[in-house]
Amino acid sequence: MTTLWLIRHGPTHETAFTGWRDVPADLSDTAALARLSARLPEGAPVIASTLTRARQTAAALAGPRPRLPDDPDLREFHFGAWDGLGWAEVADRWPDLSRRYWEDPGDTAPPGGESWHEAEARVSRAVDRLIASALTDVIVVAHFGAILTQLRRARRVSAAQVLAQPIAPLSLTRLTRTGASWQVGEVNHHP
């Protein structure tokens, strides 16, 4: 049995697509970080994506917990040419493609980016490695899309259904894997 304590990184205040573009997190809400850290298991190792916002958040939450090497497979979705553009600009420049990307997530990808299926396979590889390592608890600091891929997996719903689920910055989503079964605990929880 492995419990994944999935944490979305601290806020970035970005108003555009932010995938692999490396931006810092705002970790000024030290009270929220302290509450979140207190909710996490004491001896559990902490792992993060290789993006700065996740690494900074992991460092702020880790305290005496051991750190595992950052994993690029835990990165946010790769938005390719859309990264750094606003939602309206993407919809204006790629109306059919952007509509398909959100309404029927699966194999549709932004130019130079990755599809839902590609991102989910990448994140799932990282999660499966953590599960195979026989850790009882592991704290994973990642991103909105990365967390949603694993929530979709656990709930066994479509990508379109899980996209409606909010995952706020500094929120906790807890998933437990026992054999082939998933159990969903808190989702988008703010301690």
As annotated, the active-site residues are: 9, 76
The DSSP bridge partners found for residue 138 are 4
Q: Which helix (H) or strand (E) holds 92?
A: helix 87-93
Residue 74: which of 1, 165, 9, 164 has the closest Cα?
9
CB distance 167 to 147 below 8 Å: yes
Query: How many angstroms separate the CA atoms of 48 and 59, rounded?
Result: 9
Give the Cβ contact number of residue 103 at 10 Å.
10
Beta strands in the chain (DSSP E): 2-8, 46-48, 137-142, 172-178, 181-184
Task: Output the CA angle 172-55-28, nearest 5 degrees.
Answer: 70
Q: Determine contact, residues 115/106, Cβ cutoff 8 Å.
A: yes
- What φ, ψ does residue 181 adopt, rounded to 5°? -100, 145
